[in-house]
Amino acid sequence: MPILAIFTGPISKDGYESLRKEVDWEHQQPAGGIMHVASFDNDDGIHVADVWESGDLMNQFVNERLMPAMKKLNLPAPKVEVYPTYNINAYSAIDQYKL
């Protein structure tokens, strides 16, 4: 069953950009990743919503790629909330954001 993972924490836009380059999930897409959306609040706090095919595949990515890169870049571990999905809709406008 797909899951929704919400990551929040005190990570700046610069920190996020460094993490994107280090992990390179846009070119080396993680197995089971369906969607990734990131935003920032006015205090440089990150808010990420990911949809994954399963919690196991998300944990594999987090443990093998994300957390090692975060440690290397000295970024704090985010707070993570995981929920089973109930409904997922992707509208045609999503095509412009596909990698």
pLDDT (0 to 100) of residue 78: 93
Query: Is the pLDDT at 45 greater than 90, yes or no?
Result: yes
Share of the chain above pLDDT 90, in %: 91
**In the chain, what are the domains?**
3-86 (3.30.70.100)
**Residues 86, 4: contact at Cβ < 8 Å?**
no
If one compares 50 and 98, the residue with the highest pLDDT of the two is 50
pLDDT (0 to 100) of residue 99: 86
The three-state secondary structure class of 34 is: strand
Chain-wide mean pLDDT for the chain? Answer: 95
Contact residues for 93 (Cβ-Cβ < 8 A; gap 6+): none
Query: Is the pLDDT at 44 greater than 90, yes or no?
Result: no
Element of type H or E holding 38: strand 33-40
